[in-house]
Amino acid sequence: MYKTRTIEKTILSVSRSFPCIVIYGPRQVGKSTTIDQLFGDLCGKVTLDDADDRNLAVNNPKQFLEVHPWPLIIDEIQKAPNLLDEIKKKIDEQRLIWLKNGSERRLMYILTGSNRFELQQGVSDSLSES
């Protein structure tokens, strides 16, 4: 049985304003469960706990994002930090399309992870400008 969390309102609010949101925290606190509850019917989902998906994300991030198009939930993103650069490129490309068409931004990626330091460093290096 799913337990509603107080953070849900904040996550939903932020998801309407940004093309990418990042949720990180300790293991087994319900990050993935909450995201799945809120967005599972709207987004594809891939976990980098899966060795094949992780291998593709690490070795060919561009192809990974072609195989798994947005909107997409990527769980355990800290296992493929170089994927963040490719996500940023996709977001930047899509922003130009939205700008050109006068379209509203939409949520493209939801990233979850449990290693705060690695994830914060990767996000600040790659996605902070998006």
Residue 123's pLDDT is 57
Q: Would residue 1 count as lying in a domain?
A: no
Condensed to tens digits (0 to 9), the pLDDT of residues 59-104 reads 999 999 999 999 999 999 999 999 999 999 999 999 999 999 999 9
Q: Would residue 15 count as lying in a domain?
A: yes
Number of H helices, E strands in the chain: 6, 4
Are 92 and 130 in contact by the 8 Å Cβ rule? The answer is yes
Looking up residue 113, the CATH number of its domain turns out to be 3.40.50.300
Total domains, the chain: 1
Q: Would residue 71 count as lying in a domain?
A: yes
Q: Would residue 90 count as lying in a domain?
A: yes
A 10 A CB-CB count for 112 gives 24
Q: Would residue 76 count as lying in a domain?
A: yes
Residue 118's pLDDT is 52
Q: Would residue 62 count as lying in a domain?
A: yes
Write the CB contacts of 111 (distance below 8 Å, at least 6 apart in sequence): 20, 21, 22, 23, 73, 74, 77, 87, 119, 123
CB neighbour burial string for 52-90, b if at least 16 within 10 angstroms, e if fewer? ebbebbeeebeebbeebebbbbbbbbbbbbebbebbbeb
Q: Which of 4-8, 47-51, 105-109, 117-121 comes out lowest in average pLDDT?
A: 117-121
- Which residues constitute the domain of residue 35? 8-126
Q: Would residue 110 count as lying in a domain?
A: yes
Q: Would residue 3 count as lying in a domain?
A: no
